[in-house]
Structure 1
Amino acid sequence: MEDIQEFIDWFLKACESNTFRRDDIADDGSFAAYRVAKVALSAATILQQKELQTRNISVNSMHPGLVRTDMSRHIGFLSADEAAVTPLHLVLDVPDSLKGAYVWFDGKLIDWYNYNSDCYFKRSSYLQLLAEAGL
């Protein structure tokens, strides 16, 4: 967990001192704070799973998808009800063997190390959504 905190501190200090380089983060640093938070969460998920392995407790994280809420300015692919399906599945129906995984909103398991994966939400995709919504 100390390494995760170091990573977060590095990002915050770089932002505060205006030394953050956008090319240090995937997709030219778009949504950098969000991405740093998600990397920290994913890493913490894996560490917690390792710590709890002997107690037969499963720890997983998931990406809910872009949900139409006030926070997203009602722009998104999923309603709140649709977005609830995967978390409920993870809590109620997932096999005990699923541990330390990163699960996409559609239930697909994601290799979060692979920043070139087509699952990553790109800034250009978000800008296109905004344009289509007339914002």
Structure 2
Amino acid sequence: MASKVAVVTGANKGIGFAIVRGLCKRFEGHLPYLTARDEERGKKAVADLEKEGLNPKFHQLDVTDKKSLEVFRDYIKSNYGGIDILVNNAAIAFKNDAPEPAAVQAEQTLFVNYFTLVSTCDILFPILKNGARVINLSSALGHLSNIPSPALRDRLKDEKLTVEELSSLMQQYVDAVNQGTHAADWGNSSYNVSKVGVTALSNIQQRLLNDRDIKVNSVHPGYVATDMTTHKGPMSIDEGAIATVYLALDAPDSVRGKYVWFNKEIVDWTGEMPKEFC
């Protein structure tokens, strides 16, 4: 049987690192790729996993750089024919006391967490193998209830919403922050908006990929102790990887276009926010 290829973006530390570890433990005989923007840090992460007796592969990948994505795509296509599992984990979050102006935080957060995800998928989706699985890392903060405006919530959950229309809405948020008019409709968190965008995008992608039997899901990994949370989360990175590894390897094929909680439960994205975050 030909080896399957799993790719995890932004994986040199935190939840991404733990996802690669979890895949290595379960994906014996196949090829989990740990990718990272910084080659030195990525290779060190691979070496750390090798010390545990695991065998991930490494390739440099800066998801914010179109050329880097194209180089990676061509490498995977020429060597393996395509991707079986794609975990879009790379993201950023500004700290609460970050000195950057709100407009800068909005632009950079939406660029990395949402717009870069769109471009990553545009470049890598054509080499997904039929039957592949895609997991987009969202958050509890990516639940639709985090958007105050009923009109915006209706737009975001519209089953006819296109990627282009969603991207326009995300840009409208960035523009509103620049104008100081965002709070009433969008709330005050660029991270929340970016992750709502990730969840909405995942729903659209599933509709577009149904004919190739590709499963796309978004996941809230839990409140995990990482650099992003200033290590305040009560969950370990390995606990934060559980739901993603489940979606990658174990979930039934019927789980597609879903918003999945850290405990593997499917959550209604348009309903009430679950009380249990982690």
**Band of TM-score, shorter chain:** 0.7 to 0.9
After superposition, residues 1-135 of structure 1 pair within 5 angstroms as: 1-20=163-182, 22-25=183-186, 29-30=187-188, 32-114=189-271, 116-119=272-275
Q: Which stretch shows the higher mean deviation, 104-113 or 87-96?
A: 104-113
Separation in 1, partners of 2:240, 2:258: 18
Separation in 2, partners of 1:36, 1:53: 26
**3-state DSSP of counterpart to 1:40:** helix
Kindly state the Cα deviation for residue 77 of structure 1 after the two structures are TM-superposed: 2.2
The letter of the residue matching 1:12 is: V
The letter of the residue matching 2:263 is: D
Kindly state the Cα deviation for residue 8 of structure 1 after the two structures are TM-superposed: 0.7
Q: Deviations over 1:15-55 (max 9, x none)?
A: 001122x2323xxx25x211211121111111111111011
Q: TM-score, normalised by structure 2?
A: 0.39
CA root-mean-square deviation: 1.6
Separation in 2, partners of 1:92, 1:98: 12
Kindly state the Cα deviation for residue 119 of structure 1 after the two structures are TM-superposed: 4.3
Instruction: Rate the CA distance shift 1:120–1:10 in 2: closer, same or farther, 3 A.
Output: farther
**3-state DSSP of counterpart to 2:229:** coil
The letter of the residue matching 1:117 is: M
Kindly state the Cα deviation for residue 101 of structure 1 after the two structures are TM-superposed: 0.3
Separation in 1, partners of 2:164, 2:215: 22
Separation in 1, partners of 2:200, 2:257: 9
**3-state DSSP of counterpart to 1:59:** strand
The letter of the residue matching 1:14 is: A
Instruction: Rate the CA distance shift 1:97–1:33 in 2: closer, same or farther, 3 A.
Output: same
* Structure 1 unmatched ranges of 5 or more: 122-135
Kindly state the Cα deviation for residue 118 of structure 1 after the two structures are TM-superposed: 3.1
Percent identity for Structure 1 against Structure 2? 39
Rg (Cα) greater in structure:
2
Separation in 2, partners of 1:70, 1:33: 18
* Structure 2 unmatched ranges of 5 or more: 1-162
Which protein is richer in strand relative to its size?
2
User: Number of paired residues?
Assistant: 115
